[in-house]
Structure 1
Amino acid sequence: MLTDVLRRFNRTYTQRIGVLDESFLGTGRPLAASRLLFEVGNDEGVSVRALRDRLELDSGHLSRLLRLLEGEGLVATAADEGDRRRRVVRLTAAGRHAYDDLERRSEDRAVTLVAPLTARQQEQLAEALATADLLVRAATVRLREVTSDDPVARVATQRYFDELDARFPDGFDPGGPDAPEPGATYVIATSDGEPVAYGGVRPVIDDETAEIKRMWVHGDWRGAGLGSRMLRHLEALAADQGYRRVVLDTNGTLVEAIAMYERSGYTRIERYNDNPYAEAFFEKSL
């Protein structure tokens, strides 16, 4: 039923916003090239790698699209002055004009599309699309194993620390830089190339027990089930590594996390570490 609704919506929406036209919104460019132009203009000085990750395009297809835009004089690609190994894409003056024109055409199409609806219907549509957008994004995030010093993992870790510092009554001090953790495995969830969830497992207590650490979900993504999905993924990872039990700790102010752990079958146990910020301790058999 859900897939039928999703496929019908895709057919309806793509037809009505001009995706099927060879010239998207009358710009003379196909949708893929227009989307790439938007991404470059929306993030001036973006690297080729970031574009590839964000749009999930293979290198060959992205190169062809860039050559198309370069051929029209809309973008220029050059080595990054700060890191000559990176190639950075920027709009030219003509590209800025084309970007502004694309934005105007997109806004006009959106306004025309919803104009027949009442104010209440427009509000309902906005709420429904926001929910659909979040859930589709949550369903399609990419999970991959990383080391704790991976650049994206570092970003996620810092955001996790920043949130703890903001939420804990007396703040949070992570201490010094991370030391290597033998046997630890971390998992990052990304969408459009940005980290949206993070967590890891590491050995603790005995050979049969792993600890789940640094469970974090971006605030904009909460309510979409991503935290539960990450938790299940980490449990499966621990089981695959031969562990029969997982434990974790958390602070009492993180009530959403505690509720998720209890819904997921975790039970409270006595303190098992000396973490000064930990106030609640849980375990679960795998």
Structure 2
Amino acid sequence: MKIKLKGRKAIVTGSTAGIGRATAEGLARAGASVVINGRKRERIDEAVRQMRQSFPQSDISGIVADLSTAEGANAFIAQAPDADILVNNVGTAFIRDYKSVEDIANIPDEDWLGLFQLNVMSGVRLTRHYLPRMVAKGWGRVVFVSSESAVNIPKEMLDYGMTKTAQLAVSRGFAEAVAGTGVTVNAVLPGPTRSEILGDFMEKQAEANGITQAEAEQGFLKTMRPTTLLQRFATTDEVANMIIYVCSAQASATSGAALRVDGGVVRFVA
């Protein structure tokens, strides 16, 4: 199967590194024009430079915007008012070492609300702008990058898990709203992935314990994700491959789905 997206404009939020960057590169490789996003001008400029060098046949541009705020989302939309593909990837997590129930109970409001604004409302704000335009054209793809933590809530990232579950509700609701229009809305659920956030955390854990990063990752899996069937961290490209497929014409019969790329961490058949 060869995915061809020439003539399509794709937006990938939070895409200067990690899963977002791998997704943006995959869409560019398929021929789409791609808008990447981040909060720092220097990171955007460097990512655009590298991608233009790697994919000279594709139109690559970047927009600096903090999508955790309504103002940031509006500023982004003003610079990119139209799109055929929207990948709501931007997000973050606080990885904590809980010792007791009191630690969980004392997660402050600002952490809950801050994660909700970035991980959930960024996608809501952009989707409610681009989705009607996709419907008017009779074609479009919206993808929310959720997590296996949406259905396998981790105590060490309880507030993060809450936002990822919310993304599933939002993506399914939007999919219901555009039924029969030629526009699809889906969610992709990665498992432990060697992305920037988790990769940096594992690197620090390795340094602190005098072990290699690979050993730290194996320790994390055995302790936190013992049900993994992959028995290793996924690469960002492995996750991006699923996202890119869902953005393609070949995925026209897939909508309202929560597609797992979790390495078998979640122990149910669905």
TM-score (norm 1): 0.25
Larger % of strand: which? 1
Larger Rg: 1
User: RCO higher in 1 or 2 (8 Å CA, sep ≥ 6)?
Assistant: 2
TM-score (norm 2): 0.26
